[in-house]
Structure 1
Amino acid sequence: MRWTFKPKPDSDKVNHLASVLNVDAVIASLLVQRGIETFDEAKTFFRPSLDDLHNPYLMKDMDKAVARIEAAVSKGENILVFGDYDVDGTTAVALMSSYLKTFYPNVATYIPDRYTEGYGVSFAGIDYADDNACTLIIALDCGIKSIDKVAYAKAKGIDFIICDHHRPGDELPDAVAILDPKRDDCSYPYNELCGCGVGFKLVQALAANRNRGIESLMPYLDLVATAIAADIVPITGENRTLAKFGLEVINNSPRPGLKALLQGVHKQKLTISDVVFIIAPRINAAGRIKHGGHAVQLLTEYDVPRAEFYAAEIETFNADRKGLDKLITEEALLQIEQNSDHNRFTTVVYDENWHKGVIGIVASRLTETYYRPTLVFTKSGDKLAASARSVKGFDVYNALEACADCLEQFGGHMYAAGLTLDESQYPVFREKFESVVAESIDPELLIQEVSIDAEINFDDITPKFFRILKQFEPFGPGNMTPVFITRNVIDTGFGKTIGTENTHLRLFVRQEHSAQQGYAAIGFGLAKKAQMACNGDFFDAVYSIDENEWNGAVSLQLRLRDIRCEE
């Protein structure tokens, strides 16, 4: 791994903040690194409030969206809530439909089939709206590039409201309202909302229009926090506030569907990381294995026995997903080893029999293994479909845009995207993608980086220090878990590899000349460092600090990121 140190913040700013907050310099330094330099900024960071949320009417077209929905309600029109089949889309559909149904009954939902319709707004979905006399479609987490689909709907007398967070193209669809903070002509103060987050802003505006305060929307924040976590958007600003309060709902009073999904999870308090690794894969499994509509069904069910039935169904989908994921990853790794030129800057694999629902997960696994911008292709009808994943610091969406002449369609973000192309274009695209990446990527980005916030000693890890550190949560992009380095560390003789395949490393470490007795340390995937760590030599450890829960007891532990012998 490539160890990098974050720039040391201005010492005067650090000393000032340490003084006014009565915290040590390490804590103050972490805050300044995050752009927090005053008492008031620190107060907002440590004590987020729903009052911090921006006025939703600052978003371009919000007034038009609210007016069109209220007109539909007053005229008794049928409304179709349409969303993508992933976590962001299904939570957004659950949020919007369940909110509208609190005051209006003529609301239906539609999630496109991943395999027959593909990503985003579909002609089939519009035909469904037409067949069911729906004259308004609210599209969530999709639609910003659906120019032909929106025109098709308009010809049938169906209006569109689009709530999206993806980058718009040069032309916008002819919709009644387009809510997307990434629009060039939108001056909304925060542009990192996920699709469900944009949907929530519309709900917030509707509530305000009906003289309801933000507190009335608290029960919906479990859905928003789930989407924020799953979509890996920055946990800064408005997202951080929504995530924090959403986690409170998940931990204290989750909707029956989430509660049923969490049966058997014995943790005192779920974190954003738990949402990413426990809740999100299960919700995603519905759309990957069966149909995303099952996730909406689960998330909008208020009858407890029925919610438990739907959760058990989704648990089965998730088990199937895990099996496919493991099998296809093994096949892809074998294909790379047999065919790959290891001097390439990209990883591109294809098998017509791979399950389209898990190629995104497989792309993530391959990126972790080879640390290259990665594409995993499979057959989808008479086309090829792929999921793309990238490495930190490289924009795979821009790379795909440079290859647009080979593609039928593509969309996504800096680190994750999807695309389709004609099979005849596959070899041409594969080489062009390699060429674009080779010419534009900094070779350093192909070595996995661990970014270190600060150097500390074990004596610095006091109860107060950790208590304040926990208040930095929720963690995520833009507010990552602080990573520390401590030098002259040694294992006390209890180090060993653990896990079903002995891939992890467990140590008990102490620091030379420290008054602390030491800490348990766990390094996931670091078994290869066992010989270095367990031979009685001193080493430098890079880690974050977290808690380990075991049989109801909670203890401090170090989450190792990497270790190196002193030179």
Structure 2
Amino acid sequence: MRWTLKPNPDTQKTQHLTKALNVDNTIATLLLQRGIETFEEAKQFFRPSLSDLHDPYLMRDMDKAVQRIETAIANGENILVFGDYDVDGTTAVSLVSSYLRSYYPNVDTYIPDRYKEGYGVSVAGIDYADDNGCILIIALDCGIKAIDKVAYAKTKGIDFIICDHHRPSDTLPNAVAILDPKREDCNYPYDELCGCGVGFKLIQALGVNRGQTINHLIPYLDLVATAIAADIVPITGENRTLAKFGLEVINSHPRAGIKALIQNIKKPTLTISDVVFTIAPRINAAGRIKHGNDAVALLTEFNMMQATEFAAQIEALNVDRKNLDKQITAEALLQIERNSEQDKYTTVVYNKEWHKGVIGIVASRLIETHYRPTLVFTKSGDKLAASARSVSGFDVYNALEACAEHIEQFGGHKYAAGLTLQEENYEAFKQKFEEVVTATIHPDMRVPEIKIDMELNFEQITPKFNRILKQFEPFGPGNMSPIFLTQGIKDTGFGKPIGDGTHLKLFVQQENSEGFAAIGFGLASKMEIACSGAAFDAVYSVDENTWNGETTLQLRLRDIKSEN
């Protein structure tokens, strides 16, 4: 594990911000590291407001999208809301369909079958629209590359509005409107929205057109926050505002479906991390194991009793997903070992029997053991389908682009992508991908890295300091929980492995300071360093522990090392 200490910001800027905000250097430094340099920027960071959200009509084609939807409503047309089968897609479909249905009845939804139709806009979905008299399709979290599918829909007299956040190709589909902040010709001020976020901008624009204020849309923000958390988009700017207020909805007045999913979680307040690890996997399990329609049914259900029943069904699917994930990960690790591929620059594995619904999770799991860009393939119809995951700093989308000659179709982001290819091209692709990554990856990217915000002494960790840190939430990409380094600390003799024996609990002290309880998940292997009696260095985040109604500060250890 590499420890990288972030450089200190400019001294004059630190002094200016310290004075302007009346905070100490530590808080000013953390803010400057997040690009916050002025009082006004700090105010917006600490006190985000829904009034900070950008005008949705700044997004290219928004006026066309709203006009086409209003025309459809005026003419009594049937509208089909179409979306991907993952969390971002199913929340987006739930959001837009439930908003439209709040004042217009002729709205249907469609989630493609992961196995029969694959990712994105499908011919089967267009045929479904045609069979059901839908002459407008609103595609969410997909569609930006669906040139042929949109052309096919045109032959049936069906119009498309595309709401996507993936990178477009040079040629765009011939849709009525294409809402995508990543379009080169779109000047929308924030281009890191998720698919559900783009869907929210659409209903925000529809609301403006109907004389609604942003307050009318607050009940939909639980869906947006869930999508932001699940899709691992940066929690900066507009996303941070949407996530913050969405979390408030989740913690106070969630829709029945989300309430049913979280009713067994014994936490008074859920964080973004809780959404990532509890709500998102369950919503995802529907599309992975059975069908994404189940997730939409749950998220659009108003009756609590029915929602509880749906949630129980999804919980069972999630248990199946966990078992498959564990089994396939073990098989994939064995394949790497048998093929003597432990020292390669990439992981590319394939088994035609592997369940397509969990290969993305398996790719992430493999990176925990072999830290490198990873693809997991399985059979999908007469082709091979793969999920790609990357390591910090490496753009796997660009690497796939360099292998395009062997790929039939691909799409995604810097750190996660999906692709299909013909089985006869698998070995050539595998070799080319290894060559591309070997030639382009920086050596540092092959070693996991902990980025440390700053060095602290324990005496600086006070309840007041923690109260200010809590105002940095919600945490996530672009605004991660601050990581601190403290050198020369010792365990006071209480160190022990806990849980299933893989975690570590300590009570640590620095000379001339109070001590703190510290917990390190997955760090039991560092027991010898921590409990040798010698001083060591630790990197950690500041956390809280509540026991018997009493809350105390504790350290969430990320790594420890013997003192140099």
**Normalized against structure 2, the TM-score is what?**
0.99
Measured after TM superposition, the shift of residue 552 of structure 1 is 4.3
Equivalence for 1:144: 144
Measured after TM superposition, the shift of residue 239 of structure 1 is 0.3
Q: The residue matched to 1:168 in structure 2 has which SS?
A: coil
Equivalence for 1:509: 508
Measured after TM superposition, the shift of residue 549 of structure 1 is 3.4
Residue by residue over 1:174-229, the C-alpha shift from the partner in whole angstroms, topping out at 9 and shown as x without a partner, is 00000000000000000000000000000000000000000100000000000000
Gaps of 5+ in 1: none
Alignment map for 1:39-50 (pairs within 5 Å): 39-50=39-50
Q: The residue matched to 1:556 in structure 2 has which SS?
A: strand
Equivalence for 1:565: 562
Measured after TM superposition, the shift of residue 550 of structure 1 is 3.8
Structure 2 counterpart of 1:199, one-letter code:
G
Residue by residue over 1:498-521, the C-alpha shift from the partner in whole angstroms, topping out at 9 and shown as x without a partner, is 222x1111111111222x1x1111
Alignment map for 1:354-503 (pairs within 5 Å): 354-500=354-500, 502-503=501-502
Q: The residue matched to 1:558 in structure 2 has which SS?
A: strand
Residue by residue over 1:398-433, the C-alpha shift from the partner in whole angstroms, topping out at 9 and shown as x without a partner, is 000000110110010000001111000000000000
Structure 1 counterpart of 2:258, one-letter code:
L
Structure 1 counterpart of 2:524, one-letter code:
A
Structure 1 counterpart of 2:74, one-letter code:
S
Alignment map for 1:3-402 (pairs within 5 Å): 3-402=3-402
Find the aligned partners of 2:9 and 2:160 in 1 and give their Cα distance. Answer: 48
176-185 vs 374-383, which deviates more? Answer: 374-383
Q: The residue matched to 1:120 in structure 2 has which SS?
A: coil
Residue by residue over 1:96-123, the C-alpha shift from the partner in whole angstroms, topping out at 9 and shown as x without a partner, is 0000001100000000000000000000
Residue by residue over 1:281-302, the C-alpha shift from the partner in whole angstroms, topping out at 9 and shown as x without a partner, is 0000000000000000000000
1:267 touches 1:549 (CA, 8 Å); kept in 2?
Answer: no
Residue by residue over 1:332-373, the C-alpha shift from the partner in whole angstroms, topping out at 9 and shown as x without a partner, is 111112213333100111111110000000000001211100
Measured after TM superposition, the shift of residue 318 of structure 1 is 0.3
173-182 vs 367-376, which deviates more? Answer: 367-376
Structure 1 counterpart of 2:520, one-letter code:
G
Residue by residue over 1:446-485, the C-alpha shift from the partner in whole angstroms, topping out at 9 and shown as x without a partner, is 1000000010011001111000000000011111110000
Find the aligned partners of 2:211 and 2:420 in 1 and give their Cα distance. Answer: 45
298-307 vs 332-341, which deviates more? Answer: 332-341
2:342 touches 2:370 (CA, 8 Å); kept in 1?
Answer: no
Measured after TM superposition, the shift of residue 41 of structure 1 is 0.8
Structure 2 counterpart of 1:511, one-letter code:
Q
1:520 aligns with 2:517: yes
Structure 2 counterpart of 1:512, one-letter code:
E
Alignment map for 1:530-549 (pairs within 5 Å): 530-549=527-546
Q: The residue matched to 1:344 in structure 2 has which SS?
A: coil
1:529 aligns with 2:539: no
Residue by residue over 1:257-283, the C-alpha shift from the partner in whole angstroms, topping out at 9 and shown as x without a partner, is 000000210111100000000000000
Measured after TM superposition, the shift of residue 554 of structure 1 is 2.8
Measured after TM superposition, the shift of residue 170 of structure 1 is 1.1
Q: In the superposition, relative to structure 1, how do residues 340 and 499 fare at CA in structure 2: closer, same or farther (>3 Å)?
A: farther
Find the aligned partners of 1:266 and 1:439 in 2 and give their Cα distance. Answer: 48
Question: Aligned residues, how many?
Answer: 564
Structure 1 counterpart of 2:256, one-letter code:
P
Quote the sequence identity (%).
74
1:137 touches 1:158 (CA, 8 Å); kept in 2?
Answer: yes
2:62 touches 2:205 (CA, 8 Å); kept in 1?
Answer: yes
Structure 2 counterpart of 1:503, one-letter code:
T
Residue by residue over 1:16-57, the C-alpha shift from the partner in whole angstroms, topping out at 9 and shown as x without a partner, is 111121111101100011111111111000000000000000
Q: The residue matched to 1:340 in structure 2 has which SS?
A: coil
228-237 vs 32-41, which deviates more? Answer: 32-41
Find the aligned partners of 1:455 and 1:240 in 2 and give their Cα distance. Answer: 26
Find the aligned partners of 2:550 and 2:168 in 1 and give their Cα distance. Answer: 49
Measured after TM superposition, the shift of residue 548 of structure 1 is 2.3
Find the aligned partners of 1:417 and 1:552 in 2 and give their Cα distance. Answer: 44
Measured after TM superposition, the shift of residue 551 of structure 1 is 4.7
1:289 touches 1:320 (CA, 8 Å); kept in 2?
Answer: yes
Find the aligned partners of 1:511 and 1:171 in 2 and give their Cα distance. Answer: 60
Find the aligned partners of 1:422 and 1:341 in 2 and give their Cα distance. Answer: 23
Q: The residue matched to 2:201 in structure 1 has which SS?
A: helix
Q: The residue matched to 1:91 in structure 2 has which SS?
A: helix
Runs of 4+ more than 3 Å apart: 549-553
Structure 1 counterpart of 2:527, one-letter code:
A
Measured after TM superposition, the shift of residue 150 of structure 1 is 0.2
234-243 vs 8-17, which deviates more? Answer: 8-17
Find the aligned partners of 2:228 and 2:297 in 1 and give their Cα distance. Answer: 20
Structure 2 counterpart of 1:8, one-letter code:
N
Find the aligned partners of 2:506 and 2:445 in 1 and give their Cα distance. Answer: 30
Find the aligned partners of 1:69 and 1:258 in 2 and give their Cα distance. Answer: 28
Measured after TM superposition, the shift of residue 308 of structure 1 is 0.4
RMSD: 0.8
2:481 touches 2:541 (CA, 8 Å); kept in 1?
Answer: yes
Find the aligned partners of 1:552 and 1:108 in 2 and give their Cα distance. Answer: 47
Structure 2 counterpart of 1:447, one-letter code:
V
Measured after TM superposition, the shift of residue 537 of structure 1 is 0.9
2:393 touches 2:445 (CA, 8 Å); kept in 1?
Answer: yes
463-472 vs 551-560, which deviates more? Answer: 551-560
1:85 touches 1:114 (CA, 8 Å); kept in 2?
Answer: yes
Measured after TM superposition, the shift of residue 172 of structure 1 is 0.1
Q: In the superposition, relative to structure 1, how do residues 562 and 170 fare at CA in structure 2: closer, same or farther (>3 Å)?
A: same
Find the aligned partners of 2:298 and 2:46 in 1 and give their Cα distance. Answer: 33
186-195 vs 377-386, which deviates more? Answer: 377-386
Find the aligned partners of 2:531 and 2:137 in 1 and give their Cα distance. Answer: 61
Find the aligned partners of 1:557 and 1:420 in 2 and give their Cα distance. Answer: 46
Find the aligned partners of 1:383 and 1:452 in 2 and give their Cα distance. Answer: 44
